[in-house]
Chains A and B, each alone.
Chain A
Amino acid sequence: MAEKLYISTSPHIHSGDTIERNMRWVIIALMPALVASFIVFGLGALIVTATSVAFCLLFEWLIAKFLLKIKDTTISDGSAVITGILLAFNLPSNIPIYMIAMGALIAIGVGKMAFGGLGKNPFNPALVGRVFLLISFPAAMTSWPVPHQFMAYTDAVTGATPLSLMSLIAGGDASVAAQLPGLSSLFLGTTGGCLGEVSVLALLLGLVILLWRKVITWHIPISILATVAVLTGIMWFVNPVLYVNPLYHLCTGGLMLGAIFMATDYVTSPMTTKGMVWYGIGIGFLTVLIRYFGSYPEGMSFAILIMNGVTPLINNWCKPKRFGKIAK
């Protein structure tokens, strides 16, 4: 026999899955929404996305190499790229570069590396970055460019988004109801908002890719969307003047983006399917609560971050069905 034999114990084969493979398919699933954001917001979208990804990679490399003194930095596993894209998707297309850099620093530095890097963070890094920017620069983060200004960046003209209109309506101002765009334009993505949230169609395409490649299961997205649909449906039924059709809720704001890409982040979501469903219900409930009774028009980011905090508890309570457990 020529060479030495490996002598580790079973199993001796592997399905071939790797961290990189899963990250790669998430990035591919994000491509339709990325293309949609370029079509709708033009140059601004390109600059914001590229900047965000570049800074996320840079900060992860710097922190890993010089602060944590790790020899093999993990920037090649794709997780920093995904954080960069998702952070960008949560920003308006006219946000200046220095704000993006700060957001990336907080997202990667505080949201991820401070806890020990990949796999150790309790909160979704992109959302940590986004919420930091929202609280630090509320004006910049809540002025969204009107769509189809292809060569505009920080000089874009801004306008109201459907979500801000909906919260005005809920506040009693029925006059703006006429300004609300139709469902089809919401679905396709020809309205204002953050980069990644506008085209529901593109996001749903991403969901199909993720499910097909077995990167995620249906539990989290469906439980979030179902909870939101049911709760807003009940409210619309009770008072259709104040509360809009649930389909409007599903197609506006970061709900679709959050349900498909942010809440399903492996590290910060529960491990069992039962836990995932409760997690999704919690997120849906909190989103509707904040949208209708909170002072922000958008509640998704906060809802997800709050439920991220609850995830360890969910993991403790929601254990998988044990084989042979005798029902009491």
Chain B
Amino acid sequence: MLKTFKIGGVHPEPNKISAGKKIVTAALPKQAVFPLSQHIGAPAVPCVQRGDTVLVGTRIADPVGFVSAAIHSSVSGKVAKIDTVVDTSGFRKPAIFIDVEGDKWESDIDRSDTLILQCTISQQEIFDRIKNAGIVGLGGACFPTHVKLMPPKDCKIDTLIINAAECEPFLTADHRLMLEYPDQIIVGIRIMLKALGIEYAVIGIEENKPDAIALMRAKTSMVSGMEVVPLKMKYPQGGEKQLIEAVTGRRVPPPPALPVSVGCVVQNIGTVFAVYEAVQKRKPLIERIVTVTGKSVQNPSNLKVRLGTPISQLIEAAGGLPEDTSKIVSGGPMMGRPLLGTDVPVVKGTSGILMIPESDAVRHKERTCIRCGKCITACPMGLEPYLLAVASEMEDWERAEENWIMSCIECGCCQSTCPSRRPLLDWVRLAKSRVNDIIRARNTKI
């Protein structure tokens, strides 16, 4: 019996059509665009201005406060302007535009492929390298990694969980990373264990990646303190709380509690690789693996992309935009963000670009709730989406809060199963935002 989470979950078609495609390095863009907010926390502030020359790896924006991240140029060239761009959030945000000239790197970055096994630097030095490299969670949430690796002193951490579930359909970036860079990942895990000061790490991998499970098992058997746990294929297995439950059996209490309160720290496997590169190769976060895919895509690929590359370029590399595309999503089909156009730049959280045909993307007309209860069966957090949606429509924020709306992880399971095609998550998101404001106002009063 494979381990999994017990409440809720759905089984969308995995569609891992790019799983067998080796990672290919994408071409450099002509102009790279860096939105200043590519992470959770305060947006970074530029530390370059128009006309400045930058190299690959030059810091171009500084973090603001503790929960923030630095941004580095992924290209060499001249800063063209500091302006606004419509990014993956669907809004116009400030960004740094750099015209690309050549491909010159900062001199302290080790560009060789040699595997560096040993990590002899101190814990503090590890934090500093990760922080200065601007590493954030690459699973999509983009939480600054150095903050996650510095849990509050009163929290007893005993397990580092590596999220290699990749439960979203279509996405295969993490899968390819495991197959092609397993040794680097092991070193990255060791670095993170050292940073946290603990001895035990678990890698959770969904059963639909048997080659990755076998390979990682072989690698972890050669080191101590690391284990691979295969997981049942079920969405959202890669959700932080669901993963912790599946791997350790512990359940994270409702917000404001965090995984640290059950002794766990969860990191995406892509972040682990970035940490290896930052600590061992002094390479800041300037590129990532992006899966470009879709049912009608000619050449679904896993591309190693420099941050700031326009998505239009990636779509070209995958064979061009299919004729029947009616929705382009950054991320996976269950939680990804819809794009308003193809001029959007790749940012740290862009795990995939999915082109969805009309037949799959079109939303049917909304009907009345038939009280079938399928949304409750699907919800992995044990909520009642139909009730939360109605409370939101009636603006009954108290009722929404009483029914645990702040526990919602916005996974989309409820809306994807509703036979009446009700936009449950649209309403729940509205209520969450209002309830959040109410809670915040309540806390500041106290």
Contacts and interface: CB of A to CB of B under 8 A. Distances in A.
Q: Do chains A and B touch in the complex (CB under 8 A)?
A: yes
A117 B368 contact: yes
Given A6-B327, A9-B425, A271-B376, A325 B416 contact: no
Contacts of A97: none
Contacts of B329: 10, 12
Contacts of B398: none
Nearest to A2: B323
Interface stretch (A17-25, A179-187, A232-240): A17-25
B156 interface: no
B412 interface: yes
A11 B416 contact: yes
B407 interface: yes
Residue of B321, B323, B382 contacting most chain A CB atoms (<10 Å): B382
A2 B379 CA distance: 37
A100 B384 CA distance: 39
Contacts of A213: none
B178 to A, nearest CB: 25
A267 B335 contact: no
A40 to B, nearest CB: 32
A272 B376 contact: yes
B64 interface: no
B382 A323 contact: yes
A319 B384 CA distance: 8
Nearest to B380: A323
Interface stretch (B70-78, B111-119, B276-284, B336-344): B336-344
Contact of B339 (A5, A11, A14, A269): A5
Interface string B238-276: 000100000000011110010000000000000000000
Interface in A113-154: 117-120
A236 B186 CA distance: 68
Contact of B426 (A2, A8, A12, A267): A8
B3 interface: no
A319 B385 CA distance: 12
Contacts of A326: 253
B364 interface: yes
B382 A271 contact: no
B361 interface: yes
Interface residues of B, number: 70
B123 interface: no
A322 B382 contact: yes
Interface in B18-43: none
B381 A9 contact: no
Interface residues of A, number: 38
Interface in B316-356: 321, 323, 325-329, 331, 333-342, 354, 356
Identify whether the interface residues of A are mostly helix, strand, loop, or mixed.
loop
A6 to B, nearest CB: 4
Interface in A1-39: 1-3, 5-15, 17-19, 21-22
B214 interface: no
B381 A120 contact: no
A266 interface: yes
B383 interface: yes
A328 interface: no
Contacts of B7: 320-321, 323
Contacts of B441: none
Interface in B200-236: none
Contact of A17 (B360, B374, B404): B374
B182 interface: no
B89 to A, nearest CB: 11
Residue of A11, A14, A22 contacting most chain B CB atoms (<10 Å): A11
Nearest to A268: B371
B415 interface: yes
Contacts of A272: 373, 376, 384
Interface string B402-428: 011001001011011111110101100
B169 interface: yes
Interface in B365-401: 367-374, 376-377, 379-384, 386
Contact of B338 (A8, A266, A323, A324): A8
Contacts of B416: 11, 13-15
B419 A18 contact: yes
A217 B252 CA distance: 29
B321 A1 contact: yes
Contact of B335 (A10, A14, A22, A217): A10
A19 B379 CA distance: 19
Nearest to A77: B367
Contacts of B254: 322-325
B421 A18 contact: yes
A5 B425 contact: no
Nearest to A116: B368
Given A5-B327, A118-B368, A324-B254, A10 B425 contact: yes
A322 B368 contact: no
B425 A7 contact: no
A267 B370 contact: yes
B12 interface: yes
B152 interface: no
B363 A119 contact: no
A67 to B, nearest CB: 17
Residue of A10, A269, A272, A319 contacting most chain B CB atoms (<10 Å): A10
Contact of B419 (A2, A19, A320, A321): A19
Contacts of A14: 360, 364, 415-417, 421
Contacts of B376: 271-272, 320
Interface of A: 1-3, 5-15, 17-19, 21-22, 117-120, 217, 266-267, 269-272, 319-326
Interface of B: 7, 10, 12, 90, 169, 241, 251-254, 257, 321, 323, 325-329, 331, 333-342, 354, 356, 360-364, 367-374, 376-377, 379-384, 386, 403-404, 407, 410, 412-413, 415-421, 423, 425-426, 429
**4 closest cross-chain pairs (CB), A and B:** A11-B412, A119-B368, A271-B373, A322-B382
Given A10-B333, A10-B412, 12 more contacts: A1-B342, A7-B90, A9-B338, A11-B412, A13-B12, A13-B169, A17-B417, A19-B420, A272-B376, A323-B407, A324-B251, A325-B254
8 contacts: A1-B325, A5-B327, A7-B338, A11-B415, A11-B416, A13-B416, A18-B419, A19-B419
